[in-house]
């Protein structure tokens, strides 16, 4: 089990940063590229439409791109991968760039919702870590490039709950809890709890996971649309199933020592979010430029340092742009032994429909 608390983080940040300045090789401190990202073409006056999760970009990422390319960015937010897929399938939402999670990328590829990337227009793809290249949901990165990655674990108020080490503690907790409104995540956790493997394609197994969640939903105050960290921070819940970076954001903001993040002993989801271009994107050329901009080492590091998720940008790590305390935090960048306990999502249209049916039943039961 990996646990991270704010008090130790603050002290560790200061000490480790000072040590790195003393012992780091010259290339780490002085070997960074001297050039800044340059807009590859004249896009002056054009518009880029971006659809992303909330709290998932640095404050100046969009404004800097607008200034460098002399363009306007229309930046909208969504709350779930299912919202994105429905909007693109129905044609009701038109964007040039969408951020999509691994399993959703596979479904969108299968549904013909994405256009292939022109790799020649994205030279900064060379900065992607080799471990995140050629993913199973998009072999050869034909349609996607990684944006951020991380884990789904447990954010909690240790003053209320004590130490959390297991998913079972969450389901048994006598107090308010927030689940994440994500059918894949919650059902796969339930599969683990009943001794089955995640990514099941069996209707019977998914029904058993559904029944487990319903039977253990008595303490659920909310099924949160990617804002469980806000419910935790405000004191409405004592525990929130959430993305690692969302919990780390409140750890950094909170003037307290109560909040913590844990990867339970049973294991947890390792996910990758990706940049994709919808098939009906009105400005795919500018979208390619934006992807290349995001993959710039400095730009990528600014995003990951601000939102506290793991960067896929190996160059950003090699040049020393990632905050040292984050790079050495095993809950953000899990070491190999811990990653062996993590699992990744895979899906087919048929299994996705089964997950959706099971999750609808869980949500309806909790609402009652």
pTM of the entire structure?
Answer: 0.79
208-251 residue pLDDT tens: 999 999 999 999 999 998 789 999 999 999 999 998 888 888 88
Same domain, 226 and 238: yes
In this structure, is residue 5 part of a structural domain? Answer: no
272-313 residue pLDDT tens: 999 999 999 999 999 999 999 999 999 999 999 999 899 999
Same domain, 241 and 316: no
Same domain, 291 and 264: no
In this structure, is residue 80 part of a structural domain? Answer: yes
Same domain, 233 and 359: yes
Same domain, 107 and 250: no
Same domain, 264 and 166: yes
Of 305, 40, 264, 96, the C-alpha closest to 168 is 264
Same domain, 107 and 158: no
In this structure, is residue 76 part of a structural domain? Answer: yes
How far is Cα 23 from Cα 205, in angstroms, rounded to an integer?
Answer: 52
314-326 residue pLDDT tens: 999 999 999 998 8
Same domain, 359 and 258: yes
In this structure, is residue 19 part of a structural domain? Answer: no
Same domain, 161 and 251: yes
In this structure, is residue 20 part of a structural domain? Answer: no
Same domain, 240 and 352: yes
Number of domains into which the chain is organized? 2
Instruction: Spell out the long-range contacts of 113-116 with Cβ–Cβ below 8 A and sequence spacing 24 or more.
Output: 113/85, 113/88, 113/89, 113/278, 113/279, 114/143, 114/144, 114/276, 114/277, 114/278, 114/279, 115/143, 115/277, 115/278, 115/279, 115/281, 115/284, 116/142, 116/143
Domain hosting residue 73, numbered range: 25-149+271-336
Same domain, 160 and 278: no
Kindly state the helix (H) or strand (E) to which residue 296 belongs, with its residue range: none
Residues 6+ away with beta carbon under 8 Å from 355: 183, 184, 187, 206, 347
Model confidence band, residue 26 (pLDDT cutoffs 50, 70, 90): very low
Same domain, 263 and 278: no
As a whole number, the mean pLDDT across the chain is 88
Q: Report the CATH number at residue 68.
A: 3.40.190.10
């Amino acid at each position: 089990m990996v646990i991270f608390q704010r008090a130790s983080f603050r002290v560790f940040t200061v000490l480790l940063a000072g040590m790195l300045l003393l012992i780091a090789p010259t290339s780490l401190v002085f070997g960074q590229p001297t050039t800044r990202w340059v807009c590859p073409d004249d896009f002056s006056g054009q518009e880029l439409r971006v659809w992303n999760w909330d709290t998932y970009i640095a404050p100046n990422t969009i404004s800097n791109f607008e200034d460098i390319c002399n363009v306007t960015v229309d930046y909208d937010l969504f709350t779930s991968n299912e919202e994105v897929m429905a909007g693109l399938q129905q044609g009701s939402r038109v964007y040039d760039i969408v951020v999509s999670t691994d399993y959703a990328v596979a479904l969108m590829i299968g549904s013909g919702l994405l256009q292939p990337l022109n790799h020649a227009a994205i030279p900064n793809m060379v900065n992607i870590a080799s471990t995140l290249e050629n993913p199973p949901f998009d072999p050869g990165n034909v349609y996607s490039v990684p944006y951020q990655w991380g884990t789904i674990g447990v954010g909690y108020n240790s003053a209320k709950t004590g130490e959390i080490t297991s998913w079972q503690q969450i389901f048994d907790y006598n107090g308010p809890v927030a689940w994440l409104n994500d059918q894949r995540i919650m059902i796969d956790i339930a599969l683990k709890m009943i001794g089955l493997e995640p990514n099941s394609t069996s209707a019977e197994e998914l029904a058993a996971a559904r029944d487990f969640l319903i039977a253990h939903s008595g303490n659920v105050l909310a099924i949160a649309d990617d804002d469980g960290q806000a419910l935790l921070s405000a004191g409405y819940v004592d525990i929130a199933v959430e993305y690692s970076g969302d919990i780390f954001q409140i750890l950094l903001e909170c003037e307290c020592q109560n909040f913590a993040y844990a990867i339970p002993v049973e294991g947890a989801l390792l996910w990758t979010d990706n940049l994709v271009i919808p098939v009906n994107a009105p400005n795919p050329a500018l979208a390619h430029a934006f992807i290349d901009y995001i993959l710039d080492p400095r730009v990528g590091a600014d995003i990951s340092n601000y939102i506290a998720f793991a960067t896929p940008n190996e160059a950003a790590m090699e040049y020393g742009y990632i905050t040292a305390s984050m790079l050495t935090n095993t809950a953000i960048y899990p070491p190999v032994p811990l990653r062996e306990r993590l699992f990744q999502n895979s899906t087919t249209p048929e299994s996705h429909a089964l997950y959706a049916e099971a999750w609808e039943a869980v949500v309806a039961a909790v609402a009652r």
